Structure formats: C-alpha cells, structure tokens
Amino acid sequence: MSSKIKKICVYCGSNEGSGKVYMAAAEQLGLLLAERGIELVYGGAGVGVMGKLADTVLKHGGQVTGIIPEHLHKKVAHSGLTEIKVVDTMHTRKAMMIDYSDAMIALPGGLGTFEEILEAVTWQQLRLHTKPCGLLNVNGYYEYLLKFLDNAVSERFMKPEHRGILQVSSNPAELLDLLEENEPVEIPKLYGRNDV
C-alpha cells in the first residue's frame, strides 16, 4: 500500500532543549522520513532541533524544503537544503507550510511550535483543510498541554472529537502510522449547533 503522506510539515524548536533526548528524537524522525521517502517541509532554520532534523533527512538522502520569512533568513537559514523558499511574513510562511504538506506534526519546541501546531489543528476543526495533525511527545514533553486540552473538553469549550484531531505518540514510527490511518470527520464546532 502506498503512503498518502508524501510531504510532512514538522514544527520544532530552534533551540536544542535541555537534554540530548530531543536532538536524538529529531535524528530518529529524520532517518525515518528519509527511509519512507517522505519529504520534510519545515521552517528552514539550521539551528537547534530544526537543524538536526533537516541535517539527518539530508544525510540519509531525503528531500527537505525550508520555508522561512525574510527577517530570519540571514540570521538562521540552513544553507544546504534541497529547496528554500523565502517569504514576506510569518503568516505567509505558516500558510505555505500547511499548503505544501500532507500532514503536520510537532516535535518539542517553544511558543512558535505550540502556536503552529495548534493553528493547524484549529484549521482542521474549521474545515480549512483535512490533513492529519500529530504531536511527537518526546520525554513526556507535551503532557501538560494534553492535560490542558483535556480540561478544555471537560469545561465544554472543546468537543472530544476535536480533541481527537491531534494524534499523539512518543514513537516516531507509530505517530507516522497514526497519521497515515487518520480519516478526518466533519463535526460541528459548537455545542448544540449543526451549522458551525
């Protein structure tokens, strides 16, 4: 069976994090993407977890497209990508990353990573795309975010079905398999409404 995911957008940190486990996870995912023939689409930086991920995909013969805004290009851009696209704004960058990809996942990262993956999930909730979204929960990094989202369900600000948009695993191969199997369903956003 051929993969429906040909290109995957990965959001991740421009820092290395506090332990080698995060860089190791980037390496593990990068190797897996190259082995499966899945092109990496990411933010275009050559530093931190981002740089390690891109370097690993390239080292093992994979394809990498970076999408980076002008104001970051001269500061942190990776110099050896298969393709780099320099865009005008962060908003353009984020929209293009989703447009170019068949799925989106987040490795550990900071505010930008949180914002990007949650925006991708929100856009699926609003039916702006039907692409699967996931978290690679390395070292339990996203446990507090997952509890926060569960609380949003408990408090009826989010439907359980929308919480279920976000596929989660600590294992890169398992996460990719979950995304491959994912079939988005249309669910009304608001409680008690069938049209929104």
How are the residues of the chain apportioned to helix, strand and coil, as percentages rounded to the nearest 5?
45, 15, 35
Give the global pTM.
0.93
Q: For the chain, give me the number of helices (H) and strands (E)?
A: 8, 7
**Per-residue pLDDT at 194:** 55
**Per-residue pLDDT at 1:** 47
Contacts of 141 (CB under 8 A, 6+ apart): 22, 108
Q: What is the SS3 assignment for 41?
A: strand
Name the one residue in this structure whose structure tokens are 């530093």. 47
* pLDDT, averaged in runs of 10, over the chain (196 residues): 86 96 98 98 97 98 98 95 97 97 98 97 93 97 98 96 95 97 74 56
- Quote the CA–CA distance of 121 and 22 in Å, as a whole number: 23
**Exposed, middle or buried by CB within 10 Å (0-12, 13-18, 19+), for 17?**
buried
CB 93 within 8 A of CB 67: yes
Q: Give 105's strand partners.
A: 10, 134
For residue 186, give the amino acid letter: E
**Per-residue pLDDT at 186:** 72
- Domains in the chain, CATH or no CATH each: 10-181 (3.40.50.450)
b (16+ CB within 10 A) / e for 22-40: bbebbbbbbbbbbeeebbb
Tokens of 71: 């104001």
Cα separations in angstroms, 151 against 4, 87, 162: 33, 37, 13
- Quote the CA–CA distance of 145 and 114 in Å, as a whole number: 9
